[in-house]
Amino acid sequence: DAGVIQSPRHEVTEMGQEVTLRCKPISGHNSLFWYRQTMMRGLELLIYFNNNVPIDDSGMPEDRFSAKMPNASFSTLKIQPSEPRDSAVYFCASSSQGYGYTFGSGTRLTVV
């Protein structure tokens, strides 16, 4: 099993540009989560999907953020336009039991 796969591992972009982060969950896992980690705010849940349907997006900071899960094996998190305060490590995680996540390696985003 390859685990949860995220791409890219690192992303450096200029303020105002669109950023798309990608995630492939573990096959058979029916829940997918997007988290953001910063030193100041720790690990924050942005949005999660169950069976490809968004269940709770109350953690999405603002309308600049959007997430999709078109099928069971792929999800995207898009930021448009990006701002320097969006700089963070973005983790995708998947789960089948509802209590233990498997996290991907994360995408380190730097907005300059």
Residues that bind other proteins (CB under 8 A): 31, 33, 42-45, 48, 50, 55-56, 91, 95, 98-106
Q: Which is nearer to other proteins, 48 or 65 (CB)?
A: 48
Q: Which is nearer to other proteins, 4 or 111 (CB)?
A: 4
Residues 6 or more apart from 57 whose CB is under 8 A from it? Answer: 46, 47, 67
**What's the min distance (Å) between Cβ of 103 and other proteins?**
4
Nearest to residue 67, comparing CAs of 90, 85, 88? 90
Q: Which is nearer to other proteins, 81 or 108 (CB)?
A: 108
Query: How are beta strands 5-7 and 19-24 bridged, if at all?
Result: antiparallel
Buried b (16+ CB within 10 A) or exposed e, 37-49: eeeeeeeeebbbb
Q: Which is nearer to other proteins, 74 or 103 (CB)?
A: 103
**What's the min distance (Å) between Cβ of 2 and other proteins?**
14
**What's the min distance (Å) between Cβ of 78 and other proteins?**
21
Residue 25 · residue 94 · CB < 8 Å = yes
